[in-house]
Amino acid sequence: MKPANPDPDQDPLIQEIGHLLELSKTDIQELWEHSVVKGFIAKGMLKLDEWEEYFLKHVDRVATPGYLPSTDDILHARVQTLGVSEHVFDVNVRGKLISWHLYDVGGARGQRHTWVPYFDDANAIIFIAPVSAFDQYLEEDPRVNRIDDSLQLYTQICSNALLKNVSLVLFLNKMDLLKRKLVRGTKVRKYMPSFGDRANDHETVLQYLRAHFMKVHRKNDAGNRVLYVHVTSVVDTMATRRIIGDVRDSISRGQLQTTGLAA
């Protein structure tokens, strides 16, 4: 059985995957909605990445012939960053277009050695820490909590004397996923004992994690810099757009002051 009216311009592999997904749709839905599967997920016996849950919930639409991803689908998709990706775009600073080069670097431990050449003439570092990862561990080392790894890495960046003049911007990301986990009843203290008996709500958890990063910054900052902190959720496009605008302005102000051009 072949899919009806296949698009002749579409990649044959995509056509085949779409066809298999269509044939499996009912089975996938039944498994996803099964009480045993739901019980395993609720008890933490079956862990799924956030993007997996999103697409399983929307499998009826995703598995429909001719499916095209929506903006939300694209924002929820997760593809691991391998190596370094460069993005070049113009930014308007006081009426003058300045070309910015943004380097997206893979965060896995095995990829961090590739960052060094890009630090030589960096003006700013945007550090993205997933606040929802308090119950997750590194694939490279299952003994290390992902929040602890982020704090250790941020310590190294803060204390690096070669980066003391680089602006630092911290994104506490995936706030939407943090809220979802806490609503389900996931206890932070189970994974981070120092959280203690604090209230298990998103505001308390967020302030707890923010305080940890601020403490690392105060203790290790090599350049007495101001740390710009933003709470983000990439699926909230309007808020993200506003935050990126704020980041652009703060970085631009910092560079103008450094070069003596600020008013």
Q: Which domains does the chain have, with CATH numbers?
A: 12-76 (no CATH), 84-258 (3.40.50.300)
Distance separating alpha carbons of residues 55 and 44, to the nearest angstrom: 19
Question: Quick one: tokens of 212?
Answer: 């940890």
Distance separating alpha carbons of residues 226 and 224, to the nearest angstrom: 7
Highest mean pLDDT among 7-11, 91-95, 109-113, 183-187: 183-187
pLDDT tens for 152-171 read 999 988 998 888 888 888 99
pLDDT tens for 200-235 read 999 999 999 999 999 999 999 877 888 889 898 877
How confident is the model over 58-70, as a mean pLDDT? 89
Least confident of 7-11, 25-29, 51-55, 212-216: 7-11
Q: Contact at 8 Å (CB) between 177 and 236?
A: no
Which run of H or of E encompasses 127? strand 124-130
The three-state (H, E, C) secondary structure of 94-112, written as one string: CCEEEEEEEEEECCCHHHH
In the chain, pLDDT over 90 holds for what percent of residues? 31
